[in-house]
Amino acid sequence: MRRELIFLLALWKANLIAAMEYRASFLTQVIGMILNDGFYFVFWIIFFDRFQQIQGWKLNDMFLLFGLVAAGFGIAVYFFGNTWQLVDVIINGQLDYYLSLPRPVLLHVLASRSISSGLGDAIYGFMSFFLAQQLTLDAFGRFILGIFFSATILISFLVLVQCLAFWIGNAQLLTSNALYAVITFSSYPITLFDGTARFLLLTILPAGLIGAIPAELVRSFSWSRLLQLCGATMIFLSLSVFLFYRGLRRYESGSAIQTQV
């Protein structure tokens, strides 16, 4: 475990050094993403200015939800950037490189790329949290915990979807739609959905577990919610790791010679 952690830190350091080679581009992406998120949130400001509250959700709740999803997404994108391209890595036979090295393959693939704009999302997420008027140390601690759950479930879900490429080949379309769906649904109040829709958002498409449930944990702590999130995180994480290594047995490559720069 300690070895893996040192390895991860080394990868993140290398990614940061690589990004710093193009500082202007790095800063443009980070600042641009903060502005991008801010502009998007104007929608909710206008919406709640007009309608005040929807099913018990007010503007502050949206600040919290949006902040949590943005920070979870941003941290996942920044530290495990290849999560968004795993399907390309699999179908283009680029796993060869990772398979030839004595390190956990999945961890190595996911963390070997960093998307700078993710840092902008994460920073915006924290700004949004501060605007949600939950300014206690206790709530901040729960926010950090919520981000951890949100990012882990998001990464696990996307790995699960992309692992299907081992069986069905080109799963790019499926991946992009799964990503759109999970991000879209996670940034809306879950109280909008009922019955089957809500059940789906808490299971097959775990948008509720990425957004609304962690946000509720931040808003008010409850052991049952914490256990629910711990359980869901464990299940999604285990399933994704299991399916990836199961799929790896079916992996075929064109023996393409590649150099990791």
Partner 1 sequence: MNKYWAIFKTQLLNRLTYPADLLGHGVTIVIYLWVFIFLWRTTYRVMGASEGSIAGLTLNQTIWYLMLAETLMLSKPRLSRLISAAVKDGSVAYMLNKPYNFLLYHFSMGLGDSLTNMIFNLLAGGALVWLMQSPPPPAWGWPLVLLTMILAWMIDFCFAAIIGLAAFVAEEVNAFDWIYQKLLFILGGMLIPLDFFPDWLRSISKASPFAYMIFGPARLFVEPSLERFVTLLIGQIIWLSGLGAIVTVSYRRGLRWLAINGG
Helix (H) or strand (E) holding 111, with range, is helix 105-111
18 part of the interface to partner 1, by CB under 8 A: no
Contacting range for partner 1; rule: CB under 8 A; set: 80-88, 123-131, 148-156, 192-200: 192-200
- With binding defined as CB under 8 A, does residue 200 bind partner 1? no
Find the binder of partner 1 among 12, 16, 18, 31 (CB under 8 A): 31
Q: What is the dihedral of CA 177, 178, 180, 181, to 10 degrees?
A: 110
Candidate ranges 124-132, 136-144, 148-156, 181-189; the one touching partner 1 (CB under 8 A): 181-189
d(CA 23, CA 28): 8
- 191 vs 238, beta carbon nearer partner 1: 191
59 contributes a contact to partner 1 by CB under 8 A: no
The nearer residue to partner 1, 177 or 222, going by C-beta atoms, is 177
Instruction: Enter the DSSP assignment of 102.
Output: S
d(CA 253, CA 160): 20
A 10 A CB-CB count for 97 gives 18
Nearest approach, Cβ of residue 51 and partner 1 (Å): 6
Provide φ and ψ at 57, rounded to 5°: -95, 130
- CA–CA separation, 190 vs 216, rounded Å? 10
Instruction: Return residues touching partner 1 (CB under 8 A).
Output: 22, 24-25, 28-29, 31-33, 35-36, 39-40, 42-43, 46-47, 49-51, 53-55, 117, 173, 176-177, 180-181, 184-185, 188, 191-193, 197
